A and B are shown apart, each in its own frame.
Chain A
Amino acid sequence: MNETAKKSTIAPNGLPLVDQPAWRQDFPIDWPQDRFIARRDFTKFLALTSLPFALVQVGIGLLSWFRRYRGQPTAKAIAPLADIPVGGVHAFAYPEAHDPCLLLRPDEHTLLAFSQKCTHLGCAVTPEPERNCFFCPCHKGYFALDSGRPLTGPPRRPLPRIILETRDGVLFATGVEVHHI
């Protein structure tokens, strides 16, 4: 038995060296040392995993700060108020062309506008005024028609509300109000 074999320790299967497979007899190792080094390396890997987590957290903070610094998007005309019938729904895009929104006029004096993207996975919600809710057909999510808050289903965050303003008989979208949970 050579010097390396003498220094080897009991293998994980508990059998003496002579009963081990040929590859273990050819390359005997110090098993406790092997386990120690494997755990130490795993500990180092885990500890270094902390750094990306912390960086992502700081990144979220910075992103939020930049968004706030940028302020609300510019106002955009939706349609003349007279063109929106009572009880009707008008689709528009705000603040960008790929941000679909819905404008509702449940009665003469009430105007409501929400983002059409479901806050669960971004499917388009459809208004159901007879049930007083928005419905997301992808995962059967429901939102209140008057406030956009989630009622049932997977969505947990309310629909972002579009701030509206009437200027000279024309309806404008002037900002997006993201509700807190």
Chain B
Amino acid sequence: MNRPLTREQMTTFLQSILCLVGFVVLLQLWLLNATLNAWLGGDDSNLWSAAAASIVCCVANVSLLRYLNRLERPSRVPGVSR
């Protein structure tokens, strides 16, 4: 059964998603720092795996954003504007 979310529930969801997105962005920042450090030191053995991990993080963030947009649809969330 798809019960519409209340505004408080929606805000809780939003905060969880914000935490996850923030964590993933920090992870990407760390990954970029580590990759640059290794690359400038002449170690290019992990460049593509790091790039793949960063793309996965990006896809995860975009998916979370899409999930948030889906939650926000007026048919499911009365009282919360888009």
Please report the number of residue pairs spanning A and B whose Cβ atoms sit closer than 8 angstroms: 110
Nearest Cβ in chain A — how far from B72, in angstroms? Answer: 8
Q: Which of B54, B65, B81 makes the CB contact (< 8 A) with A43?
A: B65
**Are A47 and B44 in touch, CB under 8 angstroms?**
no
Contact-residue size bin, chain A (C-beta under 8 Å from the other chain): 20 to 34
- Does A23 reach chain B (CB closer than 8 Å)? no
Tell me if B64 and A47 are in contact (CB < 8 A): yes
Partner of B41, one of A43, A51, A181: A181
Contact digits for A167-181, partner B, Cβ 8 Å, 1 yes 0 no: 000000000001111
Count of chain B residues near A, Cβ 8 A:
41
Q: Are B28 and A64 in contact (CB under 8 A)?
A: no
| B28 contacts across to A, CB distance below 8 A | 50, 53-54, 57
A75 within 8 A of B: no
Could you say which of A13-21, A33-41, A136-144 contacts chain B? A33-41
On whether the beta carbons of A181 and B32 are closer than 8 Å, the reply is no
Q: Which chain B residues have a beta carbon within 8 Å of chain A's beta carbons?
A: 7, 10-11, 14-15, 17-18, 21-22, 24-25, 28-29, 31-32, 35-44, 47-48, 50-51, 54-55, 57-58, 61-62, 64-65, 68, 72, 80-81
**Chain A residues engaging chain B, CB cutoff 8 angstroms:** 32-33, 35-37, 39-40, 42-44, 46-51, 53-54, 56-58, 60-61, 64, 68, 119, 156-158, 160, 178-181
Inter-chain contact B41/A39, CB cutoff 8 Å: no
Q: CA A15 – CA B41 in complex, angstroms? A: 58
Q: How far is the CB of A150 from chain B (nearest CB, A)?
A: 10
Q: How far is the CB of B41 from chain A (nearest CB, A)?
A: 4
